[in-house]
Amino acid sequence: MKVIDNPHSGLGRSATRGGLVVLGGQGVRILVQVASVVVLSRLLSPRDYGLVAMVLAVIAFAEIFRDLGLSTAAVQAKVLTRVQQSNLWWLNTGIGAALALIAVAVAPLIAALYDEPALTSLTIAMAGMFWLNGMAAQYRADLTRRMLFTRLVAADTAGPLLALGVAAYAAANGAGYWALVVQQLVQSAAGLVVAGACAGWLPGWPRRGGEIGGFLRFGWSLASTQLINYAANNIDSVLIGTRLGAHQLGTYNRAWQLLMTPLGQLRSPTTTVALPVLSRIRDNAALTQRFVERGQLALGYSLGAGLGLVAGAAVPVCALFLGPGWDVAGVFALLACGGLFQTLAYVGYWVYLAHGLTTELRHYTLVASALKVICILVGVRYGITGVAAGYAIAHLLEWPLSLWWLSRRTQLHVGRLYLGAARILLVAGSVAAAAYATAAALHGLNPAVTVPVCVLAGIAAYAVMLLVPSIRRDVISLAETVRGAIEDRLSRG
């Protein structure tokens, strides 16, 4: 029976090379995402976005059950046979098909929840995403497990590129919110085709010999955690949609799509790279400690600094990318602050998954989610800006809690993670202050001029922070690691 595993040698270099490849691909996806926001925001109304966001909130909920955590279970498993892989493929596909039928049946109820009759046909049309994503799940898991990151990037970028072209054409020809529906369906279909072709295998028929009980136990525990996390992460959209209406939800959704979706696209690949590596070194506490510390620094000095920049320059950034009629700068800046603290805590998620601590992760997620729901329930009384403030405050409070909780369940020494995070916050705060001061000084100028100047001011502030010895050591060390990985990759052709 064939076993699908990877060699264990050279994991550090493999992780760095894989990270560069995946981040490069995510850079393309982010450009596509930003282009989608820029183009479609000028062709569609806030209400169009609000209606589709209402359906996506429900679909995202059901997507948790569609995957059932089986993709992650397959990636982190010590041994995965071809028979087990095929059985998992059929299970994901079957669940996806069942959920598609359920979505069609409950479409009128979703329309009634938001008091929007148009949601019935929208939900029925988008139900096909469950089936398509179900078939793609194990192909993507296989590419991740085998660390075939170049192929994974191809699968992740082909769909969004094609979908944007189709959606822009549809929107320009008066399709309205249906352009966004087509975008979602085309992206899922293209992602399935490319992922299947890159994986290079077809599933066999389900067989009894491929025991998947362990995968189901791991996956169900992880899925229950994701379900809790979903409720907390989407309470903002549900509350805005039911209390404030489609127009306000569409406005909030534009700020979210411009910032948080690209941020998620940047962070998600780090799990793709980190999970198979940490799964293999989980019995080596010292190596795990070093990997997690460097992972936090890599995220913080890149994404954290970027979030500081866009928070400080929120007004010209929103004016440049969204155009007139989208008053979301305050929401955008607050979401950036929340995203910064969320990013600092992100490395803990890698450790929970790699060590199979799904029960402990669920317990922490319950506490953190309750905190987030409370903050957003208070914030919604003050409109979408209040919701964004609640989101930011929740993540500010969750960040130290997450590291403390992790220290109780693993051998990680989180004191060093706190110190690393403090240095990251110093850099991000300095960049944000420089960008804000520059934006205020250039108020009234064309945002196409103001934004590049704010970027230069942020870079200057970052350079000044390098005068701090500990920060300089961090950045030089990370730069040397990246340079070594690039040289190694070039030497391999």
pLDDT score at 36 = 83
Q: Are the CB atoms for 191 and 154 separated by under 8 Å?
A: no
226 pLDDT more than 60: yes
* Residue scoring higher pLDDT (467 or 34): 467
State if pTM tops 0.75.
Answer: no
318 pLDDT more than 80: yes
Confidence of residue 209 (pLDDT cuts 50, 70, 90): low
Question: Which of 170-179, 285-294, 378-387, 388-397 shows the lowest mean pLDDT across its residues?
Answer: 285-294
pLDDT score at 74 = 77
292 pLDDT more than 90: no
Cβ neighbours of residue 200 closer than 8 Å, sequence gap 6 or more: none
Q: Are the CB atoms for 61 and 234 separated by under 8 Å?
A: yes
* Whole-number Å distance between alpha carbons of 372 and 393: 8
* Residue scoring higher pLDDT (393 or 358): 393
Mean of pLDDT over the chain: 82
pLDDT score at 23 = 60
492 pLDDT more than 70: no
Cβ neighbours of residue 389 closer than 8 Å, sequence gap 6 or more: 334, 379, 382
Under DSSP, the state recorded for 3 is B
179 pLDDT more than 90: yes
pLDDT tens track for 44-53 = 888 888 888 8
452 pLDDT more than 90: yes
3 pLDDT more than 50: no
258-277 average pLDDT score: 75
pLDDT score at 178 = 94
Q: Annotate 428-483 with three-state secondary structure.
A: HHHHHHHHHHHHHHCCCCCHHHHHHHHHHHHHHHHHHHCCCHHHHHHHHHHHHHHH
pLDDT score at 483 = 67
| Domain limits, the chain | 1-221
419-442 average pLDDT score: 94
